[in-house]
Amino acid sequence: MLKIGVLASGRGSNFQAVLDAIKAGKIKSEIKVLISDKANAFALERAKQNGIEALHISAKAFPSMDEYFVAVAEELKKRDIGLVLLAGFMRIVRRPLLDAFPWKVMNIHPALLPSFPGLHGQQQAVDYGARISGCTVHFVDAGMDTGPVIIQAAVACNADDTEDTLSERILKYEHIIYPEAVRLFAEGRLDVKGRKVFIKDSRPYPTDAIINPPVE
Ligand code: GAR
């Protein structure tokens, strides 16, 4: 069975959404470890509450970020991890981790990439006056939020939205599409070719789909 490792810096609601989908039997896999770069991340508490190993690995303890990610990759390898999830992990992942897990690192981003990459994707959409934003699950490459897209969901943006109101609307869809992307991975249905992700046995999607492609 697929073993998952999660990296998180904050409250960990996406981690919780994936965990809930596993507990509900929707995804055949197990979260073995949660690693945080922040000692006070609520995600660490969530892990402990759910009997999942919780590790705090501070980047400050390492002379370089490359060395930090060597150490993180070693901890994940020790536990035979087959999929790494970035769930509100606020650092750019470096080569040592990506090379150890080729196309096995996923991220959730709170905007429709390639729009509004980096920090505060929701605030960027508000400031830009975008009418539609959303969220993206993608495989991670060495760039910032540039890897192949797996699933996206769109939400409306209103002129009076604030970062908070838009974030709340987007987050609901994050909690839907992240578990779905993990399920597709766990079922061996994701194929990366060039910068495109092909989903085996997926239905063709209607042009008015909110979640794109639709999930079964
Ligand atoms: C989520 O909105 C996620 O998309 C975002 O941080 C939040 C984490 O929430 N990630 C990024 O902005 C990555 N650049 P969570 O800790 O409750 O899952």
For the chain, the structural domain boundaries read 1-102, 107-216
Residue 22 token pair: 């596993």
Same fold, 1-102 and 107-216: yes
Mutating to test ligand 1, I would choose from 11, 15, 109 the residue with most ligand atoms within 8 A of its C-beta, which is 109
Task: Kindly report the pTM of this predicted structure.
Answer: 0.94
Domain 107-216 homologous superfamily, CATH: Formyl transferase, N-terminal domain (3.40.50.170)
- Ligand 1 close to Cβ of residue 213 (< 6 A): no
- Which H or E run contains 2? strand 2-8
Could you say which of 3.40.30.10, 3.40.50.170, 3.20.20.70, 3.30.450.20 is the CATH number of the domain covering 1-102?
Answer: 3.40.50.170
Of 206 and 30, the structure prediction assigns the larger pLDDT to: 30
d(CA 61, CA 174): 32
* Mean pLDDT score across all residues of the chain: 94
pLDDT on residue 202:
79
Q: Tokens 């599409």 — which residue?
A: 177
- Ligand 1 close to Cβ of residue 179 (< 6 A): no
109 is catalytic: yes
Alpha-helical regions (H) of 79-162: 95-100, 121-128
Evaluate whether 26 touches 179 at the Cβ level (below 8 Å): yes
What is the mean predicted confidence (pLDDT) over 187-207? Answer: 86
Evaluate whether 144 touches 92 at the Cβ level (below 8 Å): yes
- Ligand 1 close to Cβ of residue 141 (< 6 A): no
pLDDT on residue 207:
55
* Helix and strand totals (H; E) in the chain: 6, 10
